[in-house]
Structure 1
Amino acid sequence: MDNKIIDQKHHPILSAANSSSSTINTDFEGDNYLQFSSSSSESLASKTKYRNTCDIVPSLINHQLNQLKNGTSIINDKYYHDKGKIYDLVSTIRLVDSKLNHITVKAKAKKILIVTKIYDIEPVLDTLKLIRYILRICPKMELYIQDELMKIKEFNLAGIAKDDPSLHVEGRIKFWSSNCCTYNPNTFDLVITLGGDGTILFTSYIFQELIPPVLSFSLGSLGFLTEFDFKDHQEILYNVIYNGYQCSIRTRFECTVMRSRSNRKNKIAQQSSFIDAEKVLRDEISSTCEHHINNNNNNNNGSYHGEKISLTTVPELSDELLTERTIDETHFNVLSYSVFNDIVIDRGPNSTMTSLDLFSDNELLTNIEADGLVIATPSGSTAYSLSAGGSLVHPDIPGILISPICPHSLSFRPLVVPESMILRVGVPYDARSPAWCSFDGKNRIELEPGDFLTITTSRFPIAFVKNMSVKNEWFKRLSDTLHWNERKRQKPFNNLGPKEI
């Protein structure tokens, strides 16, 4: 590929991004192509093929970033001796990124998946209203619902078919499974959620990679992530299906748990169900560092097994992660998750602090002594990260939030780092106790000494249908749900002059 600047005027994607009236017409049939159309460019008639709707963001950005794969060779190219060319390229990339949240998507949706908060009767009944309306305005639409709804007696799906046989309910209502969402996400053109923030997190969980655009109705407790009020569902659905919609692109993380191979080889004892009080007391009064390490080189309940080790045989996690040895030689992959809100690493049931090592891009940043660590997306900045003292970050800002939980340090403040960083959080081999980790509040797993997490920005973000009737929606939700910066107004000074005082 030649190293050169792409002319925005003659480039279909970039010229669409520059146009204020740009539209993406999405055809879900055949080859699943995206057609960019704009009143300001004739060249947009060309069809640009992509695999699916969820590739909109990566495809647009990667098309331009492919010019920067070999940064050194590009900068040394004679074409780039004009520094203004480089700045123009950076500005173009930023422009494309900013325009993504303002592009209207017109999708010929034929299959819609509905995720309902089934443990609350209100969303269940509203699901019936939603089904009835969509079947009426879209004669060929297929709807996929949870099979658990059929076990709820108030969910009278047969009543809809009885009231209006022309809707053909039986042939158009189907059931979805988590496996279908994970392995065949292209089956669905749109996802509708009826619930609260927990329903959004559940939807993110069942779509671990690609996820269709999400239209969320607020029927939960807090509703910070949900966009629309269900009382307006008919108008909203009609506009989304027939007039198109704009999306807000939200970042997700990809988190991988890596287990230590050496830790497995040296682990002889298995966990028991009791605490040896005498052993714990002996650990507390031990006077030598070597004896202290040997007493803590056991399982997490404090019982002692195996031979003593010397100080020189305790491996260092940083030595394994920062050397030329491959990770596969020292660790093996246990599991991976896509995370929408946050990853929480804490001390779990242990009574002592958690010891953690934080790495970034193959460099040790710091050692952490705290109750835990919250690593959040910008969307998750209003969740656990907020409670831990983290910053409020607008979801359009790309970044990774690092917030300690009760750190035993006066200087460890929350951080916001670039989303391009590759973070690793590990439990050092000489840690007194293991740590525990959860992903969006689910799938809690133990991290033993030597284990670590790798956290990167996922290639599969979530596209939320935006509420265009409300400007600055994020700030409005801050005020409505968290009562952000609410305070009684300070009284003005009176008009008394010096003579009246």
Structure 2
Amino acid sequence: MIKKIGILARPCTEGIEPIMKDVIEWARRNGIELFFDLEAAKNLGAEGLRREILPEKSDLIIAFGGDGTILSIAPECAIAKKPIMGVNLGTLGFLAEFGKDETIESLEKIIRGEALISKRTMLEINYKDQSFLSLNEVTVSKAFSTRLIELTVYIDETLLASIRGDGLIFSTATGSTAYSLSAGGPILEPSLECIVMTPICPHTLSVRPIVLPPTAQIKLECNEAEDEIYITIDGKFRANFSKDTFLYIKKSNHYLLLVRSFKKGFYELLRDKLRWSGKLIG
């Protein structure tokens, strides 16, 4: 039963106040306690909490913004096993499925126990003494140099390849419609439990994306001494990848519980977001 809801908002979002006030009034009528992150609280003149502690205090998280807003709190939601509902205030997005105009109607269905939950695979990334969770992808790429970098990939301790190019992307099925797609990776239905390795501008054209099983244990070795190489997780810089060190990637035991739209499924989202419904001209 949902009695406490945590609300977070993308910074500097115009026009968010009306829908936030509608949610506050709806919560008051239904006896639901609300918690706000610091950004949402700033828009309302209310007291706020640090974003990362919202999931442990809430039964449901509502993210007002876009996919990036959901990504910013996905690890904490997954660890706390709390569902998250994304209200899209941006443009292209596959995670924030709800429009502003359907927020209250959808919340009514959710508190009646009618929520549609999509269980999303996450990645666990370990580097030196640091550990991270990722909903979309981990990217290993060159920083500012125009030189190629070389990365050696092992799968289950078996050498796969030493790949020269601009870097590598390791994504979940959820992340297959993000950076991996831009780099030529395949689109995967988000319920699939797998890991996609997508090369970024490989020097050898025979190096292609590969879909790995959920049991795959990935080890990545840096072969470069001179250039800066970045480890980026869900769009955030996390560490410099040093020569002769190893990055480990595997499927996490944690899953994100994403509340799905009541109006559109994944294939309808694909058609709309990627504009596959238009007619060819010519």
TM-score after normalising by structure 1 = 0.53
**Does 2:275 match 1:480?**
no
Q: Structure 1 residue 384: deviation in Å?
A: 0.8
Q: Structure 1 residue 368: deviation in Å?
A: 0.8
Q: Structure 1 residue 365: deviation in Å?
A: 1.1
| Deviation per residue, 1:362-410 (Å, 9 max, x gap) | 1111111111001111111111101111001110111101000010102
The answer (yes or no) to whether the contact 1:208–1:337 under 8 Å persists in 2 is no
Which AA in structure 2 matches 1:382? T
**Does 2:72 match 1:202?**
yes
**Does 2:97 match 1:227?**
yes
**Does 2:218 match 1:426?**
no
Structure 1: where are the runs of 5+ without partners?
1-107, 158-173, 259-332, 491-501
- The 2-side partners of 1:234 and 1:175 are apart by 22
| Deviation per residue, 1:439-491 (Å, 9 max, x gap) | 00113421110122111111111111222333xx212121212223744289x
Matches within 5 A, 1:105-144: 108-136=1-29, 138-139=30-31, 141-144=32-35
Question: When you count strand as a share of all residues, which structure comes out higher?
Answer: 2
The answer (yes or no) to whether the contact 2:6–2:57 under 8 Å persists in 1 is no
The answer (yes or no) to whether the contact 1:117–1:123 under 8 Å persists in 2 is no
- The 2-side partners of 1:432 and 1:118 are apart by 37
Identity %: 30
**Does 2:87 match 1:217?**
yes
Q: Quick one: structure 1 residues 486 and 392, their matched pair in 2 at CA, closer, same or farther if it must change by over 3 Å?
A: farther
- The 2-side partners of 1:210 and 1:459 are apart by 12
Residue of 211, 219, 231 corresponding to 1:437? 231
Partner of 2:245: 451
Q: Quick one: structure 1 residues 394 and 416, their matched pair in 2 at CA, closer, same or farther if it must change by over 3 Å?
A: same
Which AA in structure 1 matches 2:261? N
- The 2-side partners of 1:236 and 1:149 are apart by 20
Instruction: Figure out how many residues of one structure are paired with residues of the other and give that number.
Output: 282
Q: Secondary structure at the match of 1:365?
A: strand
Structure 2: where are the runs of 5+ without partners?
none
Q: Quick one: structure 1 residues 231 and 128, their matched pair in 2 at CA, closer, same or farther if it must change by over 3 Å?
A: same
The answer (yes or no) to whether the contact 1:124–1:149 under 8 Å persists in 2 is no
**Does 2:210 match 1:415?**
yes
- Which structure's CA Rg is the greater one? 1
Matches within 5 A, 1:88-487: 108-136=1-29, 138-139=30-31, 141-152=32-43, 155=44, 175-181=48-54, 185-207=55-77, 209-258=79-128, 333=129, 335-428=130-223, 431-470=225-264, 473-484=265-276, 486-487=278-279
Q: Structure 1 residue 178: deviation in Å?
A: 3.7
- The 1-side partners of 2:235 and 2:81 are apart by 20
| Deviation per residue, 1:154-211 (Å, 9 max, x gap) | x366xxxxxxxxxxxxxxxx63324524xxx443211111111111111215546234
The answer (yes or no) to whether the contact 1:252–1:462 under 8 Å persists in 2 is yes
Which AA in structure 2 matches 1:142? E
The answer (yes or no) to whether the contact 1:116–1:127 under 8 Å persists in 2 is no
- The 1-side partners of 2:4 and 2:97 are apart by 21
- The 1-side partners of 2:125 and 2:78 are apart by 11
- The 1-side partners of 2:17 and 2:155 are apart by 45
Q: Structure 1 residue 120: deviation in Å?
A: 0.8
- The 2-side partners of 1:233 and 1:487 are apart by 31
The answer (yes or no) to whether the contact 1:193–1:216 under 8 Å persists in 2 is yes
Q: Quick one: structure 1 residues 445 and 124, their matched pair in 2 at CA, closer, same or farther if it must change by over 3 Å?
A: farther
Larger relative contact order (CA 8 Å, sep ≥ 6): 2
Question: When you count helix as a share of all residues, which structure comes out higher?
Answer: 1
Q: Quick one: structure 1 residues 111 and 228, their matched pair in 2 at CA, closer, same or farther if it must change by over 3 Å?
A: same
Which AA in structure 1 matches 2:39? E
The answer (yes or no) to whether the contact 2:123–2:135 under 8 Å persists in 1 is yes
Q: Quick one: structure 1 residues 197 and 460, their matched pair in 2 at CA, closer, same or farther if it must change by over 3 Å?
A: same
The answer (yes or no) to whether the contact 1:210–1:460 under 8 Å persists in 2 is no
- The 2-side partners of 1:175 and 1:373 are apart by 38
